[in-house]
Amino acid sequence: MEAVQNLLMGFSVALTPMNLLMAFVGSILGTLIGVLPGIGPAAGSAMLIPLTFSMDPTGAIIMLTALFYGTQYGGTITSVLLNVPGEAASVVTCLDGYQMAKQGRAGVALSVAAVGSFIGGTFATICLVFAAGPLSRWALEFGPVEFFSLLLLGISLLMGLAGKSMIKALMMGVFGLALAMVGTDPTKGVPRFTFGVMELLDGIGFIPIIMGLFGLAELLENAEKSLAQTVLAKMSSLIPTRQDVRDSAGAIVRGSLIGTALGLIPGITNSASSFLAYIAERKSSKHPERFGTGMIQGVAGPETANNAHANGALIPLFTLGIPASPTIAVIMGAFLMHGLIPGPFLFKEHPALAWGVIASFCIGNVMLLILNLPLIGMWVKVLKIPYGILCAVIMGFLILGSYSVSNSAFDILVMTIFGVIGYLLRKLEFPLAPVVLTLILGPMMERSLKQSLEISQGSFLIFLKSPLAVVFLVLTALVLLLPSLKFFRRSKEAISGEEPV
Amino acid sequence: MLRIHQVSALLFMAASGYMMWEAWELEYYTPVGPGAGFFPFWLGVILGAMSLIWLVQLSRPAGKPEEGRFLPDFKGRIQIAATIAALVLTALLLDLLGFQLTMFLFLIFMLLFLGKQPIWMSLIISAIGSVGVFYVFGKFLDVRLPLSSLSLLNKLGL
């Protein structure tokens, strides 16, 4: 009952004209980013953060979260019409979605995907509504010892599941933590790793780093490829037949459950959710051999799962303050830049904002459902814009976004340097998701470790005195050590995909 | 490819060595708990250990990277180098020439020379992306973009 009352209070915040506008703008921009090649949700969200500085924090967070789940809708359009996934999570949609398009059923594939995405997203939001209260109350009991152990578990999960090599993921995690160390030490006030550069005394801005690693690096990677001319499949009627509805209903239910459950676990990407939903559909089908030939379940299941995952992945952020993916880490950064700390205290100190943003998820999903189907023609036109123009415009936004964080041209140089680093790391097959997560969580981790050791006067045994911390540490050890077993490594390869960046 | 991976592992090891050395220069431990160097020192140790494991993995048949080109072909290399150079120049010229002129030049270069777009299209997009963005961001989003530090350009509103 309390959850429903809180949600109603949230709707009173989310339904103000300004916040509705923010949800609308975020949804549209998210779909655009999902449609466009060469820019992912992490870089897209990072580019927009500077534009929100003068905004009210509630509106700003509503816009950025709407952008995040909006990208999932956009990615479907290119998968179905072009056989090119706009986002990594939509890769599996190409298998049956494009086949449906070739059979003249693109409209049906897109409308079923949109309805599935809406149901999946709404289901995950309802889970968030009911989980938020109990989980955040539980998290409020955490001291620095439990918090450090939880952060360690969250980061380990991400590193354990990101990419194919645990060693490379760990190296990237440490790289992110090292970047977080640059600047002035928070307790002693001494400069660390600043190389005598004045601009580094406040640390390296995470926005230029993310824009470099995820935005510029991808554009540089595309610069060496000759992108194929886009051949669009023809659009058809959007209305599914009764048989289509019957076939997709089960897939949407399964996709909602799979996506929401996997979204809760940091490190599991939404491409893994859509992949597992696709496998679940094949397994539950009487005709698994027909998958890949234009089965509607092959579109409905994965598309529902990736949207449920996107909304479900916000549950750990809102309740525990732990981001589950790079884009959510960017959203967490936006919270911090507006002076808010996501996690259990958010519900206690800023209930109107927390519940307003949660209520906006329902509104944003309705907006995306209503807007996207009639606007498919417009998105198709966007896809016809030559890549040379898109690339220049995205670069312009990268410059603008980097500069406006602290009105400093130095940040453009930082973005460029990290673009080159990101490009080289991609070539060396390093997963980049751990860098962003540890970059954002690094200062919190260091602070809670220091506080814990100060309480115990330097004794690490304090971590063994809290039963909860022991549970988290044992789970961390399992996550880090299990991949060395061959059996687990095989199953890990099955669920780790390209991270959605 | 193998050589590039091996060199990268060595570079990571060098970076970890630097981190440990720099952290050692800072205070490692204080009477009330860990100092500024404690956390970075252990990060350096972990990074060094991981880099060493990676290097060892590379020497085993199962750990060898797939063969292929690391760097792109000549055209790709030029494209990438030109993009990076344009970004660095933009960062260096932004305060001197102001946002509007610098962004106009950047976009013209990207559209006309790298993107091979028609001149009229390049001019229109560059004008919108520079002058248009300057006014929209300043007026509606309260994001102040820089004017030129050269008095002549500044007087012209650039």
Residue A457: its chain B contacts at CB < 8 A?
33
Q: What is the pLDDT of residues B63-110, one digit of tens each?
A: 777 777 788 888 888 889 999 999 999 999 999 999 999 999 999 999
Residue A216: its chain B contacts at CB < 8 A?
87
Give residue A87's pLDDT: 67
Give residue A24's pLDDT: 93
Give residue A501's pLDDT: 46
Identity of residue A317? L
Are the beta carbons of A168 and B12 separated by less than 8 Å? no
Q: What is the pLDDT of residues A167-176, one digit of tens each?
A: 888 899 999 9
CB-CB: which of A51, A423, A458 is closest to B141? A51
Task: Compare A85 and B116 and report the one with higher pLDDT.
Answer: B116
Q: What is the pLDDT of residues A356-409, one digit of tens each?
A: 998 998 898 888 888 777 887 787 778 778 888 888 988 998 998 889 888 899
Percent of chain B with pLDDT over 70: 100
Residue B83: its chain A contacts at CB < 8 A?
219-220, 223, 395
Work out whether the CA dihedral A330, A40, A45, A125 comes out positive or negative.
Answer: negative
What is the residue-wise DSSP string for A427-466?
Answer: HTT--SHHHHHHHHHHHHHHHHHHHHHHHTTT-TTHHHHS
Q: What is the pLDDT of residues A398-440, one digit of tens each?
A: 998 889 888 899 999 999 999 999 999 999 989 888 888 888 8
Among A75, A128, A121, A81, residue whose Cα is nearest residue A101: A81
Distance from CA of B132 to the nearest CA of A (A): 12
The token pair that represents A367 in the structure block: 């907006």
Distance from CA of B55 to the nearest CA of A (A): 11
Interface test with A, best of B143, B144, B147 (most A CBs within 10 A): B143
Identity of residue A350? H
CB-CB: which of A51, A413, A450 is closest to B91? A413
Are the beta carbons of B143 and A51 separated by less than 8 Å? yes
Residue B90: its chain A contacts at CB < 8 A?
399, 412
Pick the residue from chain B with its C-alpha nearest to A225.
B76
Interface test with A, best of B110, B126, B144 (most A CBs within 10 A): B110
Are the beta carbons of B51 and A171 separated by less than 8 Å? yes
3-state secondary structure A18-47: HHHHHHHHHHHHHHHHHHCCCCCHHHHHHH
Distance from CA of B15 to the nearest CA of A (A): 10
Is B47 in the same domain as B117? no
Is B86 in the same domain as B136? yes
Return all residues near B90 (Cβ < 8 A) that are at least 6 apart. Answer: A399, A412, B102, B103, B106
Is B86 in the same domain as B31? no
Asked if residue B23 is part of any domain, the answer here is: yes
CB-CB: which of A219, A423, A428 is closest to B5? A428
Give residue A444's pLDDT: 85
- Does the pLDDT of residue B14 top 60, yes or no? yes
d(CA A78, CA A82): 5
Task: Compare A486 and B123 and report the one with higher pLDDT.
Answer: B123
Is B43 in the same domain as B78? no
CB-CB: which of B30, B39, B117 is closest to A389? B117
**3-class SS of residue A123:** helix
* CB distance B100 to B156 below 8 Å: no
CB-CB: which of A416, A427, A454 is closest to B91? A416
Q: Tokens 């102001």 — which residue?
A: B98
Asked if residue B54 is part of any domain, the answer here is: yes
* Total domains in the fold of chain B: 2
The token pair that represents A162 in the structure block: 């990101």
Is B78 in the same domain as B129? yes
What is the value of pTM for the model shown? 0.85
Pick the residue from chain B with its C-alpha nearest to A187.
B36
> Angle of helix A57-82 relative to helix A41-48, nearest 10 degrees?
150
Is B59 in the same domain as B124? no
CB-CB: which of B19, B65, B141 is closest to A178? B19
Distance from CA of B155 to the nearest CA of A (A): 21
Distance from CA of B86 to the nearest CA of A (A): 10
Is B105 in the same domain as B131? yes
Please say which residue of B63, B84, B101 terminates a domain.
B63
Give residue A22's pLDDT: 93
**3-class SS of residue B39:** helix
CB-CB: which of B79, B95, B106 is closest to A409? B95
Percent of chain A with pLDDT over 70: 91
Is B84 in the same domain as B136? yes
- Does the pLDDT of residue A353 top 60, yes or no? yes
Please say which residue of B20, B39, B63 terminates a domain.
B63
Pick the residue from chain B with its C-alpha nearest to A400.
B145
Give residue B127's pLDDT: 94
End-to-end CA distance of chain A: 37
Q: Categorize the per-residue pLDDT at A494 as very low, low, confident or very high, splitting at 50, 70 and 90.
A: very low
Give residue B15's pLDDT: 94
* CB distance B46 to B57 below 8 Å: no
Are the beta carbons of A178 and B43 separated by less than 8 Å? yes
Residue A223: its chain B contacts at CB < 8 A?
72, 76, 79-80, 83
Identity of residue B120? W
Are the beta carbons of A454 and B137 separated by less than 8 Å? no
d(CA B109, CA A388): 11
Q: What is the pLDDT of residues A240-263, one digit of tens each?
A: 888 888 888 999 999 999 999 888
Is B93 in the same domain as B132? yes
Is B9 in the same domain as B58? yes
Distance from CA of B20 to the nearest CA of A (A): 11
d(CA A415, CA A220): 13
Q: Which contacts qualify for A277-282: CB closer than 8 Å, 24 or more apart?
A: A277/A251, A277/A301, A277/A302, A277/A304, A277/A305, A277/A306, A278/A92, A278/A95, A278/A302, A280/A254, A281/A251, A281/A254
Domain extent for B139? 74-155
CB pairs under 8 A between A and B: 166
Phi, psi of A183 (to 5 degrees): 125, -155
CB-CB: which of A167, A193, A216 is closest to B50? A167
* CB distance A203 to A397 below 8 Å: no
Is B55 in the same domain as B79? no
Q: Categorize the per-residue pLDDT at A499 as very low, low, confident or very high, splitting at 50, 70 and 90.
A: very low
Pick the residue from chain B with its C-alpha nearest to A456.
B33
- Does the pLDDT of residue B125 top 80, yes or no? yes
Q: Tokens 């962004």 — which residue?
A: B103
Are the beta carbons of A170 and B19 separated by less than 8 Å? no
Indicate whether this complex's ipTM tops 0.85: yes
Are the beta carbons of A392 and B115 separated by less than 8 Å? yes
Pick the residue from chain B with its C-alpha nearest to A401.
B143
The size of chain A, in residues, is 501
CB-CB: which of A170, A395, A427 is closest to B50? A170
Is B32 in the same domain as B103? no
Mean pLDDT of chain B: 89
